[in-house]
Structure 1
């Protein structure tokens, strides 16, 4: 048993610290395609004070710490270090308050996103963050990765919902920035340093989130377009016609929709095949008015040849059917086998070229490749998954990534739109950030984490401390 790990166990007790084989496999990896790692110890603090004490001890000893939330990340940011401590925030899971008058929710970092959504709904309000892993991801991880999701086009990224944060620095110092005011211009907005930093600068322990009025009405359409160009024109028209009612605009290219709809047996709401498939969701406060607005937009889009075919949902069941294929990526392993996933951002003006190049250039290198494209095109986010059937579990990540990120960089995009950098994208950060920017990131980390113990070797901290 490592002496430091033994000292943590003695200081904090077996209720907080777990060692060796007693550490559940759950904490040995996240959703990234990386081999499980047994950390030196697992720490599950019960409150901010214990987080502070644990970090202070690790800082003094120079022992690495990897913060963990719901472990739903796909970039490896929460992947443990064999010589370090896995710091799970799952027990900081209390919703402290929902202020209906101020429109805020105060909660611990370990609160499950869906739990927070339900708490807001119980107060007649809405938390505008929504991602597919809502039932297992935790608020701390959502904020540490600045997660996006299906409603970014209406409500923005995770950072757009944060009013205040409590953060523990590497040496155990607690930064209490639990601001609940919509307007607070007193000095630097320090919380922005930690949102999206993937735990490299500090550990988020509590948060104050902004809430919105709960829309009482929703209308959903499933549309078929001729191609990406028509889809982008449809997006522009939808923004003009629906305004703030437009809450989702999701696109599935034939590569994704045809394969996944058939392989899953879910089928299509439309009779024919099209060059792109679009889900449009409008939300409002009057059922008849919301549906009528979307129907009117659909009629005008059809008359303008922006849409080849489409259908509006007449029930909640039909809405779920519209979304079923779009929300099927959790079934990749069963339907495709091992995949190489990409979460990139592309300027909308170059989206058609990006999809065409990625879907053609990868098969030029790997003739049997399956390349599937879909995404939240309304916020410039493109998802691509690649599977090489003959490679089995040994998918050639390096060669495929080099191709995709070269195209993304050439088109002025970003290698990460909403899933962070972590371990899997760290070598490609230079495709989206200049050397000067990366140097500044490292300087900020050096100031806040002088010993480099927080998530070493990930994201912009590419040099693992010795």
Structure 2
């Protein structure tokens, strides 16, 4: 394809693209859906010039060619569940939505892989794996809405990173369309393939700034035959660290989740959200431990014995053990209720940071004190995937609408403390534009310079999702 930019009227290019891809593939004006104007970041929606909805990589390539000829910036969109404006358009841009690129193309039992289109919702993939006797471990609260292409573009984390790793560990191959329209197809199924650079890692986690992912080969795992869960109350953070060490050594590869909740979180979900919990209030911290195995007759007694030993040693102040799948799901409700904080707390600001596990509680104490001292009326709660170094927090000033929340002050306090403690301003949500100014708090200047070099090499005209990340 000729990569030379030509200046042609945008309307002519969009009309020609509509003739090539079909009338339902190119939406303009009043036909543009509201959903394509923003992600879940609660920021101001921006209507793009057009929404293009291809059905395959060739259609994506055609859309890119039209944008390039008209010198229109373009942004890829999936389920639009991101929180950092990575997939949000700006006025005058073209949104290339993968919402029609949905479906499971193949499940290969011998290689334990699944090939899917990038617009496929995560929950559809989970169910297809389950129906085929496999397990796809990536799991997020937005599972019903988020698209797998977006999961790859942000290198999503979720609830089971401690056992299965981030999204990039679950990908074997992909198809991607480059910013000049070139289609790169490498639907690799091999676990071992050292034939040159592993190019897929350029695009996983790049937030749609280096290419548009269109198809993916995912790695599947054996379906768990047993799931055990316990909701534990502990006196303090040293006890949490001791429990994590005991879980790693005592449960080994069975350990699939280790979620920690501070007392302020517990108060919100019980007193304000009305969640009924099997352990009471008044403890130092709360931990949800999950283990998955292959033989319930062996795994469940082992899990029970492990917990009883911890109780006998005085490590746990209280604990409830799930006796059924329904109870396990109820335990997870305690952790997943944060998705309803908008209704429970009202307007608030959410944060996703990475820190050394040993320093999590120190950060919580320092951050909570700094927010309360520097911002009148500021409250905050803390929780997260502590087993893999990922802390979430939300902060707010009661009575203020979202546009008046002192986000800039909150950002400066929170990210400044993250920098001082050697952490990351984004553990799993990405950078987009929402965190762009803080990227230097987590990455060095040489690292950022290299990112810019890669961007310039693949997208010298800066038309693909410009201004995002770097």
Secondary structure at the counterpart of residue 336 of structure 2: coil
CA distance in 2, matches of 1:70, 1:52: 20
Shift of the alpha carbon at 1:6?
4.4
Report the alpha carbon displacement of residue 230 of structure 1 after superposing the two structures with TM.
1.1
1: CA distance between counterparts of 2:376 and 2:325? 41
The aligned residue for residue 290 of structure 2 is 281
Q: Mean Cα displacement is larger for which, 393-402 or 268-277?
A: 268-277
Deviations 1:247-289 (A, max 9, x none): 0110111111111222111122113421111110111011122
Q: TM-score, normalised by structure 2?
A: 0.96
Q: 1:396 aligns with which of 391, 399, 406?
A: 406
Q: TM-score scaled to structure 1, two decimals? A: 0.97
In 2, distance between residues paired with 1:156 and 1:177? 22
How many residue pairs get matched? 459
Cα displacement string for residues 89-138 of structure 1 (whole angstroms, at most 9, x for unaligned residues): 11110210001111000010011111111111111111111111111100
Matched, 1:180 2:189: yes
Q: What is the CA distance between 1:343 and its match in structure 2?
A: 0.4
Q: Using the alignment, how far apart are the partners of 2:281 and 2:123 within structure 1?
A: 36
- CA shift for structure 1 position 330: 2.1
Aligned to 1:350: 359
Q: For residue 392 of structure 1, report the CA deviation from its aligned partner.
A: 2.4
What corresponds to 1:426 in structure 2?
Answer: 436
CA contact (8 A) 1:165 1:206 kept: yes
Match of 2:392 in 1: 383
Where do residues 49-88 of structure 1 align in structure 2 (5 Å cutoff)?
A: 49-88=58-97
Query: Are 1:8 and 2:14 an aligned pair?
Result: yes
* 2:321 alignment counterpart: 312
Residues 191-219 of structure 1 deviation map (CA, whole Å, 9 limit, x = unaligned): 00000000000000000011000011111
**Counterpart contact for 2:17–2:66, Cα < 8 Å:** no
Give the 3-state SS of the residue equivalent to 1:75 in structure 2: coil
Matched position secondary structure for 1:222: strand
Query: Does 1:21 pair with 2:30?
Result: yes
| Structure 2: 5+ residue stretches without partners | 1-7
Matched, 1:323 2:329: no
Q: 2-side partners of 1:335 and 1:156: how far apart? A: 31
SS at structure 2 position matched to 1:344: strand
Distance 2:412 2:280 in 1: 38
Gaps of 5+ in 1: 461-466
2:331 partner SS: helix
Distance 1:49 1:368 in 2: 53
Could you tell me whether the CA contact under 8 Å between 1:93 and 1:109 is conserved in 2? yes
Q: Hey, what's the Cα distance between the residues in 2 that align with 1:277 and 1:340? A: 23
Deviates further, 302-311 or 91-100 = 302-311
- CA distance in structure 1 between the partners assigned to 2:172 and 2:158 by the alignment: 19
5 Å-filtered alignment, 1:12-411, equals 12=18, 13-393=22-402, 394-411=404-421
Task: Give the distance between the partners of 1:306 and 1:435, measured in 2 at CA.
Answer: 44
Q: Which moved more, 1:140-149 or 1:310-319?
A: 310-319
**8 Å CA contact retained: 2:17, 2:26:** no
Where 2:41 maps in the other structure, the secondary structure is coil
- Bigger mean CA deviation after superposition, 394-403 or 293-302: 293-302
Is the 1:169–1:201 contact (alpha carbons within 8 Å) kept by the matching residues of 2? yes
RMSD across aligned positions (CA):
1.2
* 2:17 and 2:62 in contact (8 A); partners too: no
**1:5 touches 1:40 (CA, 8 Å); kept in 2?**
no
1:300-350 CA-partner distances (Å, limit 9, x unpaired)? 222233210001011222212211121112211111011111000000121
CA contact (8 A) 1:112 1:137 kept: yes
In 1, Cα distance between the equivalents of 2:302 and 2:431?
40
Q: Which is worse superposed, 382-391 or 183-192? A: 382-391
Matches of 1:451 and 1:292 in 2, distance apart? 61
Q: CA shift at 1:43, angstroms?
A: 0.5
The answer as to 2:462 corresponding to 1:456 is no
Q: 1:463: which partner in 2?
A: none
